[in-house]
Structure 1
Amino acid sequence: MNYKVYQGSELKQTVTSKTAVMNGLQPNRTYEFGVQPNDGNRDGTKVATSVTTRGIRFNIPKMLTVGSTITLRYEEYPLGIVPIGKEPSGMFGGGNKQNLSAKVISTANGSSVVEVAGNVIDVGGRNYFSVSGFTANKYAFAGIDFYDLQLLPNTKYTVSTNNVGILGQGYANVFVGNKGFTPDSSINGVIVNKPQTVTTNSTGVLTIAARNYSLAYGKDKIQVELGTTATPWTPYAAFVDGDTFTVQPDGTCALFSEYKALYY
């Protein structure tokens, strides 16, 4: 017996056992899953259920009170000033400061597991497509490269980027359209704070175009999301579930991801 596993209306995988692992889910989100048996000849009745994922969890090297609520401080630091984690106290203040609520789940061996409330932390897997580290040398030529994504047909997807484009000239470095489109900054260009929503045609192929030589290595990113809303680039931080804070010289605990930081 085979089992077809759906996330919403999309068939994600077919398994032969009664267990399936779903990857790329986000914390504190509700998903609808369906399972449909197939005997090799025909499909049976699909049974659906809703599941809400838990929040992202971190390890803090301190004994905290289980069940209590703590506050984590989120900040962003300019790149190139000082190494991350080496900011002199009081000299370089972070920007985009946010206070995040977290609940203490458990404690053991001098460490505590805390779970962040709400959808305020981004983890890997949210995007259908994410590209970083663009350089002219990474590709065969320093021009516009095209990436074809096989998505759902006749469905809206929103593309956003943190790239500012070519300042003062009105040109974008990222473009989106159905396969065969012509990049045009004024029509299908994507820059920071100006996402583009595109409806796929009957083929379901969405094409991303990138002017690679103008994108900064390790900094610029592109994301494609289902629907008409682009997830804000901030205050979301790309931390990993299970990350561990480190104790700083002043006694506080900190966790760093690129130029983003969480403090307790």
Structure 2
Amino acid sequence: MQYRIYKDNVKIKETTSRQIEITGLKPKTTYTLGVSAYNGLRESTRATITMTTRGLVMTVDKALPVNSEVELEYVEYPLGSVPIGSEPAGMFGGGNRKKLKARVLSSANGASTLELLQAIEDTKTNLIIDADDPYKFNWVNAGSGGKFNITKDYAELTVTDLTQDRWIGFSMDIIPKTVNVGDSFTVSVPVYIDSSVPCDGGSVCIKEHASNKVAIAQNLPDGPKDKWFNLEFTKTAGVKLTDTTRSFYLFLGRNGSIKVGKPTMYYTNEAQSSFKDNAHLRDIGNGSLAAFDGYKAIYLK
């Protein structure tokens, strides 16, 4: 008997062993893992679990209250702009600045151990404005048969009884950065497809309004249904983006019921942080504690 192993609905391994190691997981990231039996002809119903990996652990040369939350700051320094370790007090320059929350696990002898409460990989620059708040979705063609429901965690759309194609959905602004033909982007959107309404299809697209052309696009899949999954794809921009007003779209083409979480869009070749477990935030002599990884830094003010 063989077993098929799935991660986020993608088969990653086929094995005869009842115990395997899954590598390449990111810290503080939720995954859906599944397993099915396969006899060479038929595959059994897949059993799944949802799990979240723990966050990166860091040591700080400061006594902090156990179980309290602290805020760290992540920045990337342009090469050679500021000598690492000698930033003046109050000067936390650099780009791609992000706030990271952490919880204090323990504290002893003037030092504390922290666990990050989010994936540090999230520090990639999200090109979509206001993507942290589904309330900031714009409704598109709201008067054409769509029923909208917006919560703090997701935006929901249900379309029924349409007999012809009519794009109804959501849009968001994207940051007006330079987006040229040939630039590679990765888009990630949490999606929930409700099986109670037959879904006739839809798509995610980035549109350039000045030329009325689509820069990148991806069709919504047929499934899975009745569970959250992460729709992630990488595309190459087909047109230059100059007008970025409401340029990120997620549509239903006719009928269906979907929920949409907080989307991200970033340059595919943007380097991720390589911070590892047990990074040590030390006093850098300007009133702050910091750990450095090349030209990336994490501060505790």
Q: Are the counterparts in 2 of residues 76 and 97 from structure 1 also a CA contact under 8 Å?
A: yes
Q: Distance in 2 between matches of 1:98 and 1:230?
A: 14
Q: Are the counterparts in 1 of residues 181 and 236 from structure 2 also a CA contact under 8 Å?
A: no
Q: Distance in 1 between matches of 2:262 and 2:26?
A: 18
Determine the structure 2 residue equivalent to 1:33: 33
Q: Distance in 1 between matches of 2:6 and 2:67?
A: 35
1:174 aligns with 2:209: no
CA deviations over 1:157-200 (Å, ceiling 9, x no partner): xxx9xx946xxxxx545358xxxxxxxxx8787xxxxxx33459
1:245 aligns with 2:280: yes
Determine the structure 1 residue equivalent to 2:171: none
1:197 aligns with 2:214: no
Q: Are the counterparts in 2 of residues 237 and 257 from structure 1 also a CA contact under 8 Å?
A: no
1:260 aligns with 2:296: yes
AA partner of residue 26 (structure 2)? Q
Q: Distance in 2 between matches of 1:91 and 1:50?
A: 41
Determine the structure 2 residue equivalent to 1:8: 8
Q: Are the counterparts in 2 of residues 59 and 242 from structure 1 also a CA contact under 8 Å?
A: no
Any unmatched runs of 5+ in structure 2? 124-173, 186-210, 221-232, 238-260
Q: Distance in 1 between matches of 2:31 and 2:91?
A: 44
Q: TM-score under structure 1 normalisation? A: 0.52
Q: Distance in 1 between matches of 2:66 and 2:54?
A: 17
AA partner of residue 279 (structure 2)? T
Q: Are the counterparts in 1 of residues 75 and 92 from structure 2 also a CA contact under 8 Å?
A: no
Q: Are the counterparts in 1 of residues 60 and 112 from structure 2 also a CA contact under 8 Å?
A: yes
Give the number of equivalent residue pairs: 188
State the identity as a percent: 34
AA partner of residue 25 (structure 2)? L
Q: Distance in 1 between matches of 2:71 and 2:183?
A: 37
Following TM superposition, the consecutive aligned residue runs of length 4 or more in structure 1 with deviations greater than 6 angstroms are 186-189
CA deviations over 1:121-146 (Å, ceiling 9, x no partner): 2179xxxxxxxxxxxxxxxxxxxxxx
Q: Which has the higher strand share?
A: 2
SS of equivalent to 2:279: coil
Determine the structure 2 residue equivalent to 1:19: 19
Instruction: Indicate the RMSD between aligned Cα atoms, in angstroms.
Output: 4.4
Q: How has the CA–CA distance of structure 1 residues 111 and 15 changed in structure 2, closer, same or farther, with 3 Å as cutoff?
A: farther
Q: Distance in 1 between matches of 2:93 and 2:234?
A: 41
